[in-house]
Structure 1
């Protein structure tokens, strides 16, 4: 389902909620997600929309994250910042976004999405590999070369291995996606 909300109005809503550096990151991710989508036969404007919304709740106070997205497991209770994807989904829905694939992408950019959600994979890869981060350039290049599923597999694997190496608990949804891939 196409959205009837204007991108410009959503940009203003997001910009009002995040720090300038975060908004710059969001715009880099949005442009990259658009390009990844285009190079993989997906709708570039839906990918841009998902990326524009993905970190809308990232700079909210912890109490607000908990209100918008009550924790569902111990990892989320211990790390409320992990709720920002689900909280951003709530905001996006409240702002009039109805596209379920886009909403799932927004929520799933933190823990991973079902590989059937191409928009979600494009967003996940764009978020972890946008040039401002200075890492994961090889993942970005794979996605831009039309090899999105391969790029997504690497991105999820890298995240799980990184968290395990640091002794940080891996979210159950991330482990599900990791096993699925």
Structure 2
């Protein structure tokens, strides 16, 4: 792993200190699932666990702190500041010593989606949307655990875009890029 200056236990404590108890339990479920998905798909399970452990580190921060860490880059983020929590979590991870670019991209991309070459990011994205505590997307989780990560990721992205469009909610430009990439 290309990261220095931290231990997983130190990072867990930092994340736990910033999140509500129910969020922290979600984070741990996502980390365990991302690790299992990584193992099932021949990926580095440690890196997937690390990215998932940090993915929601900024999720419970006050809006002002989110925007300080990750200033909005588009109208969706200006209208929905919570959309920057992945980028804010990336900034925290960088401050805590994480330097692995794929892990950092996975942390940031868990909100919007990642490019198809970031398989760690795909594992984290799928784990986040399908962890058992959510009570949804079991079929996506099962695909990923069966070694069919790309298919699971495609289904997760398409499902998200379909859901948001159906609700009349603006879709983040990066999510649309991920959507176009999985359909290409």
TM over 0.5: yes
Corresponding residue for residue 76 of structure 2:
75
Deviations 1:55-86 (A, max 9, x none): 00000000000000000000000000000000
After superposition, residues 39-118 of structure 1 pair within 5 angstroms as: 39-118=40-119
Normalising by structure 1, report the TM-score: 0.99
Corresponding residue for residue 27 of structure 1:
28
For the pair 1:11 / 2:12, whether they are aligned, the reply is: yes
* Distance in 2 of aligned mates of 1:60 and 1:22: 12
Q: What's the RMSD between the two structures over aligned residues?
A: 0.5
* Distance in 2 of aligned mates of 1:127 and 1:22: 12
Corresponding residue for residue 2 of structure 1:
2
Q: Which runs of at least 4 in structure 1 moved beyond 6 Å after TM superposition?
A: none
* Distance in 1 of aligned mates of 2:3 and 2:25: 24
* Distance in 2 of aligned mates of 1:160 and 1:74: 17
The SS at the match of 2:111 is coil
Corresponding residue for residue 143 of structure 1:
144
Query: Any stretches of 5+ residues in structure 1 without a counterpart?
Result: none
Deviations 1:76-118 (A, max 9, x none): 0000000000000000000000000000000000000011001
Shift of 1:3: 1.7
For the pair 1:161 / 2:146, whether they are aligned, the reply is: no
* Distance in 1 of aligned mates of 2:181 and 2:104: 21
Normalising by structure 2, report the TM-score: 0.98
Deviations 1:4-39 (A, max 9, x none): 220000000000000000000000000000000000
* Distance in 2 of aligned mates of 1:107 and 1:180: 17
* Distance in 2 of aligned mates of 1:20 and 1:115: 32
